[in-house]
Structure 1
């Protein structure tokens, strides 16, 4: 649909009517040929912002998908890099692209790590977690980091109601809510629940200290506000 190598409309429909896990298993072989993959510009901007705060030893990509974020960790970390995801299909793709990474199949809401990493990242995954699920996710990342470790979350700045993107995202979320009200299993993916201030408050509640860094290289809204920011959540030393 998006390119000759991407999924067809029929394939996307089947995936959208599946569970999150099954949907990503089906989409995995063609995922990198869709707009759902984190753009290289986002990956580069995140890596550049983190480089000044490194080097880091061990890195963890939470909800790693096909492994786009593993490349960021390989650039920044001097020791091992690890990706975790609950889709076996996505992990197969990540394994092929990053043979040197350790890949673990697990639910991000119940991460099986304890003080093992200095840097954790996640790219584009927060929309799969309802606000009530974020505390478990963030507590697991907090537990997985060593004292002084950093959790980096690049996020888009919500567009104002005067921007067409506001109404596109509103419409998408509305369609998803109707779909989940009438069809099982649910497919959780909402864009308008990822507000940086709310996410930051949940990170603080999990024990992190949080700062927000603008990513101006990713552009600005018409009102001059950067389109993207990087939340840096640090576990106290």
Structure 2
């Protein structure tokens, strides 16, 4: 799962026993050599799906990490692009990889932007927020977008209960719950707390109009349904 340039088991253990912010500060120099980085295929599929919905001017990557989302935003946005994250270590890596972008350190549950962007994206970050925290996140993205602006992020279809992947994710979440019950500070990272119907409800409550689009390039499940879809949450033009 990890390249030789990736973190050791000891480094991962130290990260897992840290807070989310401190953990990612520690992991940042080797993050792009782990399977946690958003795969290029997912970035490409997202960019392909968003292309016909543009053009866009200003772009924002929410929970940008080391800046992988810039591979989506830069080709689509005619104006500037910005990444926001609360990990100084991750932002340092992003700044080195993409010096032409703007980087902002902030808690995305309290985004410091007001009607500044036309497109916002996010990749692999929702599991770091408890369900009770999503309304603040989505409301902040809503405020950050101009009227008519779009918030887009890919989401995986839930694996069937008969699959190894289902039980792997369930086991991971159970381990994390036990860890957070007995160890402080907590490290919030869950894979099964973001079902689409709850995300759709939270986005709608924040004011978005929500649709989804399949990402067929990423394959199909056994029943023929797509393995991934793209959530498209638009701030109404008159808002």
Normalised TM-score (structure 1): 0.99
Match of 1:99 in 2: 99
Match of 1:207 in 2: 207
Match of 2:188 in 1: 188
Once residues 82 and 60 of structure 1 are traced to their aligned partners in structure 2, the CA distance between those partners, rounded to angstroms, is 5
Match of 2:20 in 1: 20
Deviation per CA, 1:180-214, whole angstroms, max 9, x where unpaired?
00000000000001211211111001000000101
How far has the Cα of 1:116 moved from its partner?
Answer: 0.1
Deviation per CA, 1:3-23, whole angstroms, max 9, x where unpaired?
110000000000000000000
How far has the Cα of 1:163 moved from its partner?
Answer: 1.3
Once residues 196 and 45 of structure 2 are traced to their aligned partners in structure 1, the CA distance between those partners, rounded to angstroms, is 17
How far has the Cα of 1:162 moved from its partner?
Answer: 1.2
How far has the Cα of 1:137 moved from its partner?
Answer: 0.1
Match of 1:133 in 2: 133
Once residues 71 and 221 of structure 1 are traced to their aligned partners in structure 2, the CA distance between those partners, rounded to angstroms, is 27
Match of 2:227 in 1: 227
Once residues 7 and 196 of structure 2 are traced to their aligned partners in structure 1, the CA distance between those partners, rounded to angstroms, is 31
Match of 1:174 in 2: 174
How far has the Cα of 1:225 moved from its partner?
Answer: 1.6
Match of 2:50 in 1: 50
Match of 2:69 in 1: 69
How far has the Cα of 1:216 moved from its partner?
Answer: 1.1
Q: Which runs of 4+ in 1 moved over 4 A?
A: none
SS at match of 2:178: helix
Q: Structure 1 unaligned runs (5+)?
A: none
Normalised TM-score (structure 2): 0.98
Taking only aligned residues, the RMSD between alpha carbons, in angstroms, comes to 0.7
**Aligned length in residues:** 237
Q: Structure 2 unaligned runs (5+)?
A: none
